[in-house]
Structure 1
Amino acid sequence: MRHLLSLACFLVFALSGLAPARGFEVISVPEDVNAVNLSEVIEVVRGNDGRVQLSTAPDADGIIRRIEVLASEQGTNPSFALFALRNDSDQQIERLLVAPFFRLPGSGVFQPDLGEARVSAVTPSVGIRPVRLSDPEADVFEVTLDPGSTVTLVAELSSGNLPELYLWQPNAYRDYVNSFTLFRGVVLGVASLAAVFLTIMFVVKGRGVFPATAAFAWAVLAYLLIDFGILGRLFSISAGGVQPLRAAAEAGIATTLAGFLFIYLNLHRWHLRFIHLALGLAALFLALFAFAFFQPAIAATISRLVLAMLGLSGFFLILLLALRGYDRAVLLVPTWIIFIAWLFYAWLVISGQVSNDVAQPAVGGGLVLVVMLLGFTAVQHAFSEGQVSIGTLSEVERRALALTGSGDFVFDWNIDRDRVTVSDELAIRLGEKRGALRGAIKRWLDRVHPDDRDRFRTAFDTLVELRRGKVSSDIRVAGHDGTYRSFRMRVKPVLGGDGQVNRIVGTLQDVTEDRAARERLLHDAVHDSLTGLPNKQLFLDRLERALERARLPGGIKPAVFLIDIDRFMELEERIGHSASDSVLLAMSRRISRAIRPLDTVARITGDQFAVILASEQAAGKIAEIAEQIRKALKAPFNFGDRDLTLSASIGVTIYDSNPASAADVLRDAELAMYYAKRLGGDRIEAYRASARSISTYNRASEEDLERGMKDGELHVQFQPVTDIITGQIVGAEALMRWNHPTRGAVNPDEFVPLAERSGQIDKLGRLAFEQAATQTREWMNSIGLPEEFFVSVNLSPTQLATESMLADMRSLLDRDKALASRLKLEVTEGQVMSNPEHSAYMLEALHGLGVGLALDDFGTGHSSLSYLHRFPFDTIKIPAAFVKMGTDTGIAHTQGPIIKAIVALARDLDLMVIAEGVESLDEIERLRQLNCRLAQGFAFGTAMTGAELARKLMAQQGR
């Protein structure tokens, strides 16, 4: 059947003239690989009138879908990169799609790629829309893959090509970015120091060789600032805007290197023509520098070729002069050989023969090394002529300077004298006076956290005994106020003349904030953000361990409670989300007080809690604790000036040593809880075999619903929307009905919640929309609809939460543009409030397709007015509860002003108003007096088939 479906899809595409894209090479996302290079598997296609249509990779069921992706900006026709990823694991995974703006490896010598923005947006075939993350050096998108899913991703390209695309694990990518931070800092620090030092030498002595060398050093520093992305971030320059600067920096390196070679070798002394040649080259180099801002790629090509020619011609010139005994040329020979080696390596990199992660940093580091060697050569030449007397830094001084710049603290233990010496800055960090941390190792050891002392003492004893090795470990040290700070200690032993260890020296790095952030992330990953209790993942892990212990001889058999708050959704609708969160927090504390430290309480879902009871074994004691929890939850909550009373249904199961997983045991408790709910709630029920019949019945019902949708048993009927002034039908609401072959008509109150529980509501909503659209198109072609006639369809929460529905609607409406103005989608306030940001995005996208948007059950939420301004609704629907006019309860006196206010508000905002649930002539008359013109309900007729409504519309038109 699946093969026939795939063949049918192919024939449809072929007949419509849209050739399906070639088969994707689906990439299985590995769990233990930090990064995957996708550059060779992507397919770049040119957009067709600002869009691309493609066949997705087969999903787990082998189904291939046809999707269409539009450009993010109208009027553009970008290229798109297509590729597919598969999650073979049983857990949701997150990865980062990384498209670097600029990569030196493979950039090329001729017309090189100087970097630019790569990806504008990424659209998945299914699942959560990738989120763009801020990154100064690449386009980064966070991609979430559901378990077992295959997702085809369409990347809209900012430029015509995509040289490189990687799939990173988030933590690994952050580590990868951070791994180059220290290197870049050191390289920039060295380059800056070299440029400043050579500039100072020029200011002090004024010799021409120093400004030439300093100019080259400043040009290299400018190139590094651009290559490391610092200059672009500093001046907020886009990735494409950096191209002229990068080309100009390369031109500057070539220009200043040629100037250094000419001035250092004193070529103007050899022949007058060299001066003319130098002036001509200087003019050309300046022109090249300016040309970089108009044609960056050409200027970069020329600059790279000039550098290569300078390297070769300069080598032969230096070698010729050195053979003649010219001392300056002799001093420059080793440096120029290294420069030739750097040129060769740079050529390997830009030609793509060397393309590893360290290739580009190595080129930058090598360039700084050339600067240092040229500066050293210039200083050495100045020393040989007695021109300067400024000393260079010793190796010890250089290391001390680097240590100071790193911000680490020095640790030195003199074993012979038993004296610890640390940086005074460490004492200040711990709130102590300078020198307070110096003294015997015992005094230092007393400050180390008790849990770290044995590890600290063992590590030092091992270094002394083995007389080699090193220690890199985190320890906690007490401050003046008694709080502990975490430090990463890196120490090594120092041997004396007798071969014994006489010192242990190293550094301490403060990692308190990093450790706290890591622990906070680990805690948040397995704990509920509201209550702080373990979440379902941690609960199942602890339950699994408890079951393993129970299988051992004499093991404690745990009992599991599943606690569900009765009618909590009704309470949430009355008091709001924030207040209900406070109630949940109070309930979690009441449950926690009823159990012991050996037990575990967790929040499983919104209003469900679970308990692992390991502190009691007797059935009577277990029942007693469950009863304590039930009574504690039933105690009134003080909420403002009133008391709230809730109850809970508790399911209990006791592990019986049979082979079972944690999920199975939790399911048994859940079945017992549902049994308690069936008996009225506010009770405790133990797991029993009969509870399995409930689960079996639910599964049977789910399968029955799925079969009914496949066999065409579910179809939409239409309830008219009537103008109560003219009596004309102006629209209709599509309502799904199920005509079961054996049970007859099934109430929507039964099968709609069933679809929501079983995850079929998305499919049911798509079926309703497709049938309503098909019927509307048939009416348009057969009877001709009135100009303002519309058909409204309800959207489920899951449809609003996923973008697959948006893609389906785009595909449907692209085939029939006139259909969009006839359709209206209804959403409730609860749906919008569940994820306002995503809802705003989806509603704006739907509005952009031309369909109408109606806010259903207006006035039953807590922020109705804000919705009307924030979201593009054009219709509001007054719920049936506001329309009821029972005089015995006084509702007419309260609901009349509410409806009148809603109608007035809608008139001011130019919105359509429809009253629902109108069942009597009195209600119609009341709505007419309140100026509410449109209404629907049994007073105008029940839901009817499309053919019946068509006859009414034709009679209305006099046909």
Structure 2
Amino acid sequence: MRYISLASRPVGRLVAAARFFPLMLVCVLFAAQAHAFEPVKISRDDTALDLTATTDIHANQGEAFQVSTAPGPDGIRRRIEVRASSPAHQGDWAVFALANVSEEQLERVIVAPHFRLVNSKLFWPDLGSQRIIAITPSEGFALDRQPSPDADVFRITLNPGAVITFVAELSTPQLPQIYLWEPEAYKDTINAFTLYRGIVLGIAGLLAVLLTILFVVKGTSVLPASAALSWAVLAYICVDFGFLEKLITVTSSDERIWRAGAEVALASSFVVFLFTYLNLNRWHAHLGYATFAWIIGLGALFGVAIYDPSIASGIARLSFALTATAGLVLIIYLGFNRYDRAILLVPSWALILVWLFGSWLTVTGQLDNDIVQPALGGGLVLIVLLIGFTVIQHAFAGSAYQQGLFSDLERQSLALTGSGDTVWDWDVTRDRIVTTPDVSVKLGLNPGTMHGAARNWIPRLHPDDRDRFKATLDVLLDHRKGRLNHEFRIRAEDGHFHWLQIRARPVLGSNGEIIRCVGTITDITEQKNSVERLLQDALSDNLTGLPNRQVFLDRLQSVLNLAPEGETVRPTVMAIDIDRYKLVNDTLGIAAGDNILIALTRRLRRLLKPQDTLARLSGDEFGLILVSERDPQRVADFAEAVNKAIMVPINFANREIVLTASIGLVSWIDQQENAAGLLSDAELAMYRAKRAGGNRVEPFRPAFRTSGTDRLQMESDLRRAIERKELSLAYQPIIKLDNGDLAGFEALMRWEHPKRGSIPPSEFIPIAEASGLIEPLGMFALERAATDLMDWQHAIDKLPIFISVNISSAQLLNNELYNDVRSMLQRTRCNPKQLKLELTESIVMENPEQARLVLAKLKETGLSLALDDFGTGYSSLAYLTRFPFDTIKLDKALVANTSDKRNVLLRSIIAMARALEMQVVAEGIETPEDAAELARMNCHYGQSFLFGTPDTPDAALRLLKERYQVVKRA
């Protein structure tokens, strides 16, 4: 060390200054020079002083460092030069000065902690290291280092009145904190923190062991995640509290790696706990994938921590903050959805957010004191403690029930609670009925209204049920045995009646008399309504309310059975078909067609007498049993009246619609055939009237049966074609409107007759429906489509297309459809997600309740369901929520409409479908401009002759190979 003195006396000061001016100039040019600073004054009572603010840091100053000392008691400033302890030193120095203003010698220690969380920064944080290599005073020898694992400690002695400048050689340019302590006060502080740290470490260790043991004992998935979090917190506390050095030998550079690794482990276990506890994979599979990728990324940080601990630590801190934020959003969302786990986690997460906010204030330097770092460590342990309580409460809730540790009475109570039934308790001796929960509330009445005497229930019952209810209770009391099983209707506050079912049994007293009757009340309103709808759909037409074909034939057969008994019953059967009804349907839409059918039904009903029967046999065909007229002329007049009633114009949408009908009639003759034969004769006459141009009444003549031979022959040929699999499918492309890619095909039935050539579906489908061949025909189409799809899959790898297949009403109402479809999927091994079943609105409306049940079963197989001809029916919107459709096909009448409101209507329907997560297919697109407009409306798919005509399976495969070039190799 070299000292340079400057005289402070007035005499000779100029001479001295001139003498040393060249040397001072050299010092300014070639050595670092600290600015003048004042020493920190120390007295006997100063036990702890923070020197951080009064310490000057000089970075990158080289191996030799020169500085002016603080003025001594004599007012003289001196210059000292200090050299680095190693040539490899970067030249980072710290300078401070101390002045003992007391009259006695003072012993102090200078303390510079290796790590300080305060102001360590969020990104690229300072993870700690050795701070001071050596300290050189301006007087005396270099200071002795005191042993300390987590701080640089140097002992100094200050003589009375001494002013000493200290130059500290730093290992890094950062010196987060430097303290001057009275030795005993420093020792007491260390001991106090050691006690606190020991308590916190003990609690953290016990929590980790406890949660691990519970995981071994209980085995639920949330416990290992909680145990992992507790062990990660314990590891962090061990590093932060300096306990790791007591277990293994750790250098200052190794400590940075351990600290970064502990923070990464803490962030990773935090993500795992949140995912496992909230069971996020249950809510959406993508959450599981995202969490797994997040954990993999954090796992890679363990490797990064070895090479650059600061980067790993910064990313871990950011991950912790993001996890806490994401957890807050999830807990709020799931809490509003009544998810009990999320609700239980609210207190713990609130504490986590408070801890996170405090940590942010600390690492950014906004919160600066000596207790904040150990306090945050204790806060982490408190968080784990609260999480442990939450997890244990959840894991062991209901454990007694899971292990069967409850009595038969408790089991029965749980079963009753789970059934949702209401307990009905009638105290016979006091004549008081009590229900639990109170049935009055379910009926919208004031609580306790239905509690009381049994007679109080009578006014609330349906008038038709009151006598039966009283009689049932009286019989039970008289016989003193048996069970009460009674259904009745009771009026709610809104005036509607609810169907309730009481099932109870009597409790006998010691004298054999009934003292009470206890059982359950079940609300069976929905079941009753479903049964009623099923019965109604099975017997009548859902649109018009008329009897269907089966009921019509049954009534006709009953009339025919009475006809031979006498002359009073001579029935006439009429088959009435509306001319050009399909044209009206296609032009004006299904809504117009439905309204026309309803209007015609009302007109025809006005012509009938009570003993006559009107039925809807099919889409636009009515059947009529005329019993009230026997005279041939009066029958002919009645038929003409029917024809005129149909011809009366119908007003719809500000336009008049005039319709005609083709009517065939046949009267009963002795020994005539059964009901089906008589109806067939009437239909033959109707077909003759239609072929003659329609708008006429045609009586049946036996010669018409020869013309029916062709129909029978075609039926026989169709049956043979199905058996020999001579029918084929043609595939019309369905494209994606946004990019023009091929999305799939619609399968259309084709029949190439060996003699008659190509027969259109409009001819052989009605024959199949009338002859009962539509079901095997439909299954043939479905299986052939699945087979063709599998053939295409073998030719082209990972083919992302679907095939739509139409099904008929007969198939939909077949109870075996679900089993047939499932067997077909097993045989063909076709992916059900690539098959769509298309149903029209009219098919669904034939029997809505049965359709709902069958479609729900079909949906279980994985098939897609499409509602065809959507947008033209008056009730189509209800289907979107009532039936499990995932695709709607816009009718071409709606797409090709040129009215001003077309775009508004299309845009609304498409937006509604997308909101319901349904796909939309637009049919009948005529121009590229229409396709572009629909694409801008976010319509998914398009299907029309603009994009391709129906073609053979081989042609479809060639088209697929053009679009998808990934071909499998043999």
Rg larger in structure: 2
Which band: TM-score by shorter chain?
A: 0.3 to 0.5
> What TM-score results when the alignment is normalised by the length of structure 1?
0.42
